[in-house]
Structure 1
Amino acid sequence: MKDNIINIHFLGAAGTVTGSKYLLDTGERKILIDCGLFQGLKELRLKNWEYLPIQVSEIDAVLLTHGHMDHTGYMPLLVKQGFRGPIYGTYPTLDIAEIILNDSAKIQEQEAERANKEGYSKHRPALPLYNLKDVEKTLPYFKGLPPSQWLPIVKGIRAKFQYSGHILGATTIELDVMDKRFVFSGDIGRVNDLLLYPPIRPKKANILFIESTYGGRTHPEEEEAMPKIAALATKTLQRGGSLFIPSFSVERAQLMMLILYRLLKEERIPKVGMVMDSPMGVDVLELFHKTRDWHRLNKEECDAMCSHFTIVSSFYETMQLQDDGKPKIVIAGSGMLTGGRMLNYLETQAQNPNNTLLFVGYQAEGTRGRKLLEGERELKVYGKEVPFKMEVVEIEGLSAHADHNELLDWLKDLESKPEHIFITHGESESAMALKEGIKEEYSWDAEIPELYMIRTINN
């Protein structure tokens, strides 16, 4: 290792929630932890079109904490820029990443085609960020690894992927480099999740990177959310409206299916048609059947749950359902309304005040979901401004992210004070709240890095 110095490049999720990318550079080896897309604010999304401020072809390997878009969605662009090394993750993470990347590329191609046809893009022609061929070129670099085992990544660096909840396959990544343990939290899941097991807490960390999505905020328990969902669904359906639930297709969609199935089974909501409209969500349901060690849901309940839903895969079915006028409950992507089939429903249903839009997950700054929660009453869909008259409700307690207290609790098994703590993956207020919480709880100092900052670690 050159001069026993390690440089950390914060290439994403610094000062923001999305775009997770951290480059660890020993001078001889370069490891990228996560490779996510920026989402939300336009100024961030524009960065997805820029080349990274590093020599991409020199990266030896990519390690993925989990499969969500803001942790994996930049990979086809990384390959386009010259990366040719292995991309490591748990087997469910790589399965989810493949599903998400293909779905993302398909949506981008369709939106570019529609924009060019209808002429609402200022770009001539409108182009996708990447396409299905780019994804196809990326997948051969995927290398699956088992969890909870130390494995050599490159010469002098070993890694262990530890269960973190959040979604199927999600992990914290521990890296031993020189004589130091680097711990990247990824996204930390809930302690009492209906679908997933509690995250494994790290025992040792010289250099710690911890997410702060919900810093300063606490969640009610998931069980506390169920009566609220039951009351909201009943009220909406009784007035002749439909309940629309934008949902992340990985884990959140399946959780909402489980909750609604249990409410229906217990006769706490009216009998009504229930729809899960997400090609990606259908693929993830299949993955739930194949990865029983990663979640709590048994085969019998999973089968029963699915039998109560109309599982939509074709876009033709979506077009029929969005116009049929019958009260129903619809779960569809995307969770922040950044794309996906929920936009097709809202294009025709947003003006009906009897309908309800229910948010059950985090809404990043600058997304359509965040704007509607903040009171915006027009929705831009496919170049058109659609008046928005639906009731908008947010029910907390269903997030896949640990809250403030759970983040602090995740640190409690550390044998000694880390040399450096970097607070990432959070908006400024959340990051600052977690920094203050760590100081108060443990008397440890932490740093909130800025985007593209380089931090030097001396061995």
Structure 2
Amino acid sequence: MGELEDVKDLLPANASISDTRYEASDIVIYTDSKEFFLDHSEAVRKIVSNLKKRVEVRPSSKLFSKPENAEKKLKDIIPSEAGFDEAIFQPSLGKVIIRAEKPGRVIGNNGRTLDEIKKKTLWAPQVERVPAIKSKIVDRARELTVEDPEFRKDFLHDVGKKIRRGDPPEDEWVRVGGLGGFRQVGRSSVLLQTEQSTVLMDAGINPSAEPGTKDNFPILNAPELDLQDLDAVVLSHAHMDHCGMIPYLYKMGYDGPLYCTKPTRDLMIMLALDYIGIAHQENQDAPYDSSAIKKAIKRTITPDYGEVTDITSDMKLTLRNSGHIIGSSLCHVHVGEGIHNVLYTGDYNYDKSEMLRPADTNFKRVETMITESTYGGKDDRQQPREEAQKKFLSKMKQTLSKGGKVIVPVFAIGRSQEILGMLADELDRDYFDYPLYIDGMIKDANALHTAYPEFLSKKVQKKIFQEENNPFTNDQLHSIGSNSEREDVIEGGPSIILATSGMLTGGPILSYLEALADDPKNTMIFVGYQASGTLGNKIQQGRSTVNINGKRVDVNLDVNTVSGFSAHSDRQQIINFSKNLRSSPNRVLTNHGEESKCFSLASTLHKVLHIDTSAPQNLDVNRLN
């Protein structure tokens, strides 16, 4: 507990401290003094300078006003245009979470309104944005994030103690092993180990494998992995091939922290709940239930991009934007006192897109990079974004003009928003008088995007903040939520239909395909990766007859693929990303790609960068130093 004692020694005599606690890698000071709570910046600067840790000051229970009185004051202080929605008081943490439509109005110019809230209520305020779209799933996800603050206080303190525990290692070594996603796409999972620490990065499902089979899940019974001894889990982003088995870890006995961004946390909740629901609909057993999801969320820690966070006694984590989906992260781990630095890319896009900024390259040191290879093959070149947009819109207009329907299989998170962003401007043009339907979890994912505009591109942020041409709330955008509404769309006139799942492995897209595939007036446009063995891949490769829900269906519609909307980097973009990293890696391991693409990309990066590269397979273990 030496660090907490050091904090007390650095505080002024009048600070009136009731408690000092760890909050994972941070330190929280609870004070009984109104004066110190309202004016502690100089004292905190001194502590941060000495200990190199983030420090927060909060009021003790002796200080803050009763929640009912504080809420009345909040309503008086917060301007009406802020769209105040609710206040969630967490007495054990001394915090009040203020949810509003326009958080900037709650904060005020230079934080003045926030300062007034602190002064009048003596609570530590935290402001969150209310989604612009109503969604029960998003509401449920956000409820889970604030449950049981008393447990979180104790849990985070215990995490903090564990991080600060540990004697210097006798032998400084670092090794990495693949538990899934190596020489394949799906069930991504990477194990990073030192003598002191074991950290798991991602734990996904394999969408192309038979549900419930061993190939569907990561190899969690590998001899290197003991869930009881696992120190931390890091989640790069919320696609099921990366996050689908995270709750299972908690079901099977893992009890430690999960690190990811806030959007990734919320999206994981949504996807995992949906995964359970679909399994039940199909009379299958899901590998976990909602209690495992709750357990995971109560233990989730959400660093901001660029924030250095201690996750074990000898590992520091930094998450940076990967440009793949909202909240997706490049995961950088600094081991020991600089003995090795590992960059696990997860999935990333080093190209401009409608929704997101390109992947960040600002890493001071990278010795080993583990990079995805989804489009790492020698012939993998994506269309430039402008060409892809022209091709999509041209095919869309042709189909609509002849009375057909445009069916676009999309992932609920990422690709659907990218297409909606492109279509947002198109919907306002004179020629366009057609409905645009979304089906599946797309509406819920859209709602969550409106809650975290700071993670989006400047262009989309501006549209959301100014409420002009918001791609998620256009009047011509209609959400489908029932079988009867689905039938109306199928029987109706020309339209555009965006539906899940993106690889045709399930979801409402199958209902549209079954009903509309036989009509050559209709068009299907693939805008995302189709894993080998999936129904989407079979149709993309020209299969003329397919089986859908036990029924033989003739595929006579016009099938097109437009690659320029991908949220993955293509081969040249991966090369460019590797070259443009602030610190060039000494070694590259390829994963998250078909076997031939992993090998091809590794060979090319070796020739281009003149460094060691390899394409390990699952269960291979590589020593990194």
TM-score (norm 2): 0.67
The residue identity in structure 2 corresponding to 1:273 is P
* Cα distance in 2, alignment partners of residues 74 and 302 from structure 1: 37
Q: CA deviation at 1:102?
A: 1.4
The secondary structure found in structure 2 opposite 1:411 is: helix
Q: Is the 8 A contact 1:51 1:81 kept in 2?
A: no
Q: Is the 8 A contact 1:322 1:344 kept in 2?
A: no
Deviation larger for 356-365 or 45-54: 45-54
Alignment-derived partner of residue 188 in structure 1: 348
**What is the correspondence of 1:346-425 to structure 2 with a 5 Å cutoff?**
346-414=513-581, 418-425=585-592
Deviation larger for 353-362 or 218-227: 218-227
Q: Is the 8 A contact 1:203 1:413 kept in 2?
A: no
* Cα distance in 1, alignment partners of residues 520 and 288 from structure 2: 37
Deviation larger for 244-253 or 4-13: 4-13
Alignment-derived partner of residue 140 in structure 1: 298
The residue identity in structure 2 corresponding to 1:59 is L
* Cα distance in 2, alignment partners of residues 334 and 43 from structure 1: 15
Q: CA deviation at 1:389?
A: 2.0
Q: CA deviation at 1:182?
A: 0.9
* Cα distance in 2, alignment partners of residues 365 and 316 from structure 1: 30
Question: Is 2:443 the partner of 1:252?
Answer: no
| Alignment partner of 2:393 out of 214, 222, 230 | 230
Deviation larger for 127-136 or 72-81: 127-136
Q: Is the 8 A contact 1:106 1:132 kept in 2?
A: no
Taking structure 1 as reference, are residues 415 and 194 closer, same or farther at Cα in structure 2, changes over 3 Å only?
closer
Question: Is 2:330 the partner of 1:172?
Answer: yes
* Cα distance in 1, alignment partners of residues 242 and 442 from structure 2: 18
Deviation larger for 216-225 or 134-143: 134-143
Alignment-derived partner of residue 435 in structure 2: 273
Q: Is the 8 A contact 2:373 2:591 kept in 1?
A: yes
Question: Is 2:221 the partner of 1:55?
Answer: no
Alignment-derived partner of residue 214 in structure 1: 375
Q: Is the 8 A contact 1:105 1:135 kept in 2?
A: no
Q: CA deviation at 1:285?
A: 1.3
* Cα distance in 2, alignment partners of residues 444 and 199 from structure 1: 22
Q: Is the 8 A contact 1:108 1:130 kept in 2?
A: no
* Cα distance in 2, alignment partners of residues 232 and 413 from structure 1: 36
* 1:144-203 residue CA offsets vs partner (Å, 9 max, x unmatched): 111101111111211100111111111111111121111111111142112111211134
Alignment-derived partner of residue 77 in structure 1: 248
| Alignment partner of 2:315 out of 157, 162, 166 | 157
The residue identity in structure 2 corresponding to 1:34 is D
| RMSD after superposition | 2.2
TM-score (norm 1): 0.90
The residue identity in structure 2 corresponding to 1:165 is G
Which protein, 1 or 2, shows the higher relative CO under an 8 Å CA cutoff with sep ≥ 6?
1
Alignment-derived partner of residue 120 in structure 1: none
Q: CA deviation at 1:350?
A: 1.9
Alignment-derived partner of residue 424 in structure 2: 261
| Alignment partner of 2:207 out of 35, 39, 43 | 39
* Cα distance in 2, alignment partners of residues 3 and 43 from structure 1: 42
* Cα distance in 2, alignment partners of residues 383 and 334 from structure 1: 18
* Cα distance in 1, alignment partners of residues 594 and 450 from structure 2: 35
* Cα distance in 2, alignment partners of residues 233 and 413 from structure 1: 37
Q: Is the 8 A contact 1:276 1:309 kept in 2?
A: no
Q: Is the 8 A contact 1:166 1:189 kept in 2?
A: yes
Taking structure 1 as reference, are residues 137 and 318 closer, same or farther at Cα in structure 2, changes over 3 Å only?
farther
Taking structure 1 as reference, are residues 305 and 266 closer, same or farther at Cα in structure 2, changes over 3 Å only?
farther
* Cα distance in 2, alignment partners of residues 192 and 69 from structure 1: 24
Question: Is 2:445 the partner of 1:288?
Answer: no
| Alignment partner of 1:199 out of 359, 362, 373 | 359
Deviation larger for 408-417 or 229-238: 408-417
* Cα distance in 2, alignment partners of residues 304 and 325 from structure 1: 24
| Alignment partner of 2:500 out of 333, 348, 363 | 333
The secondary structure found in structure 2 opposite 1:397 is: helix
Q: CA deviation at 1:44?
A: 10
The secondary structure found in structure 1 opposite 2:525 is: strand
Alignment-derived partner of residue 259 in structure 2: 88
The residue identity in structure 2 corresponding to 1:390 is L
The secondary structure found in structure 2 opposite 1:66 is: coil
Deviation larger for 94-103 or 255-264: 255-264
The residue identity in structure 2 corresponding to 1:396 is S
Q: Is the 8 A contact 2:308 2:317 kept in 1?
A: yes
* Cα distance in 2, alignment partners of residues 318 and 51 from structure 1: 42
* 1:314-346 residue CA offsets vs partner (Å, 9 max, x unmatched): 224543335424221100111111122111211
* 1:27-67 residue CA offsets vs partner (Å, 9 max, x unmatched): 33210011111121449964236753232222111001111
The secondary structure found in structure 2 opposite 1:77 is: helix
The residue identity in structure 2 corresponding to 1:248 is F
Q: Is the 8 A contact 2:354 2:422 kept in 1?
A: no
The secondary structure found in structure 1 opposite 2:488 is: helix
Q: CA deviation at 1:270?
A: 4.0
Q: Is the 8 A contact 1:108 1:131 kept in 2?
A: no
Q: CA deviation at 1:130?
A: 3.6
Q: Is the 8 A contact 1:204 1:414 kept in 2?
A: no
Q: Is the 8 A contact 2:547 2:553 kept in 1?
A: yes
Identity of aligned residues (%): 28
* 1:421-453 residue CA offsets vs partner (Å, 9 max, x unmatched): 111111122222322321232222301010121
Structure 2: runs of 5 or more not aligned = 1-168
Question: Is 2:185 the partner of 1:17?
Answer: yes
* Cα distance in 2, alignment partners of residues 283 and 43 from structure 1: 25
The residue identity in structure 1 corresponding to 2:359 is P
The residue identity in structure 1 corresponding to 2:622 is R
Taking structure 1 as reference, are residues 102 and 228 closer, same or farther at Cα in structure 2, changes over 3 Å only?
same
| Alignment partner of 1:128 out of 277, 286, 290 | 286
The residue identity in structure 1 corresponding to 2:408 is I
Deviation larger for 219-228 or 177-186: 219-228
Q: CA deviation at 1:209?
A: 0.6
* Cα distance in 1, alignment partners of residues 565 and 489 from structure 2: 26
* Cα distance in 1, alignment partners of residues 585 and 552 from structure 2: 50
The secondary structure found in structure 1 opposite 2:301 is: strand
The secondary structure found in structure 1 opposite 2:448 is: helix
Q: CA deviation at 1:286?
A: 1.6
* Cα distance in 2, alignment partners of residues 59 and 159 from structure 1: 16
Taking structure 1 as reference, are residues 11 and 153 closer, same or farther at Cα in structure 2, changes over 3 Å only?
same
The residue identity in structure 2 corresponding to 1:183 is L
Q: Is the 8 A contact 1:213 1:427 kept in 2?
A: yes
Alignment-derived partner of residue 98 in structure 1: 269
Question: Is 2:220 the partner of 1:68?
Answer: no
* Higher CA-based Rg: 2
Structure 1: runs of 5 or more not aligned = 113-125
